[in-house]
Amino acid sequence: MRIVIDPQAGPCPGVRRALKMAEENLSKQSELVALGPVIHNQREMNRLVEEGLQTISQESAEDAEDIGHLANRKLLIRTHGITKQLRKKLDAANVQLIDATCSIVRRLQQLVQKHHEQGHQIVIVGKAGHPEVTGLLGYCDNRGIVIESESDLDRIDRSRKVFLLAQTTVDQAKFLHIREKLFSRHPDMIAMNTTCAQINRRHEQMSRFAASVDVVLFVGGKNSSNTAVLHNVCRQANPRSYRIESLADLDSTWLQASDTVGITGGASTPLWQLQQVEDYLEKLAQLG
């Protein structure tokens, strides 16, 4: 059995930066509070919890009493960002913010605010309730429209000029399809393809990697939408693609002694988890 770890695997730069900020602050003090999971990977979150990380939900942070408990404590804002309204509340409560908002997301927040102030109707192709989308809506007074599918297009006011953008992790093909449909209704629409360029490239890389091996073991958190999308990319390129969260999910009957096994993961899968699978397979191969 030959085992290959995808050379392009590992968290995206934004997530790596957030993890580094969390680890650096935990190394200096015994605790740190994060506003929601820093990464959609439960095993990695468990590791950070053992180092002293605590998490609270955005709903809790919106509550005045809970914000009071955070006074003079350090609060990590994850890559998705937060609404400007919540940021003002936290600042007023003397919460020490460690801002790990992705630089791309921060730029989108500024664009949403700019076009909202210019009177444009903000339309976001994304998932309602996703923390990035929630944060973006906060920059247009929560008056934006979230488009999850073509059936949502009728919610857009045809009498108003539209500014269209995408949640960064949305599939680019989906965004382009929605954009094409909207242009027929709003020819003067301003549209920006704000899907993450790195994620788009990752889809192409993932497809090539999956096709280059006999079997793919895709390691990722069960609650990560990015993991689900990328695993589907693998399956389209290689039907023998299996998704696992830990070694407990791995079924040895998926593998044959003559196989080249590729190990990869999503944007929320740290490299140590891929290396753990590699170590396990090497021991399995030695046992014959």
- Looking at the structure of the chain, the number of domains it has is 3
Is 262 found in the same domain as 189? no
Distance CA 82, CA 99 (A): 10
CATH number of the domain where residue 248 is located: 3.40.1010.20
Is 76 found in the same domain as 37? yes
* Beta strand 74-77 pairing with 32-35: parallel
Distance CA 161, CA 182 (A): 11
Is 273 found in the same domain as 205? yes
Is 18 found in the same domain as 6? no
Strand ranges for the chain from DSSP E: 2-5, 32-35, 53-56, 74-77, 96-99, 121-125, 145-147, 162-166, 190-191, 215-219, 241-244, 260-265
Distance CA 26, CA 15 (A): 16
Final residue belonging to a domain, choices 195, 227, 242: 195
Is 150 considered catalytic here?
no
Say which of 24, 62, 132, 180 is annotated catalytic: 132
Final residue belonging to a domain, choices 71, 102, 133: 102
Domain, as residue range, for 67: 13-102
Final residue belonging to a domain, choices 102, 137, 155: 102
Q: What is the pLDDT along the chain (288 residues), one digit of tens a residue?
A: 999 999 999 888 899 999 999 999 999 877 899 999 998 888 899 999 999 999 988 777 776 666 777 888 899 999 999 999 999 989 988 999 999 999 999 999 999 999 999 999 999 999 999 999 999 999 999 999 999 999 999 999 999 999 999 999 888 999 999 999 999 999 999 999 999 988 888 889 999 999 999 999 999 888 777 788 889 999 999 999 999 999 999 998 999 999 999 999 988 899 999 999 999 999 888 776
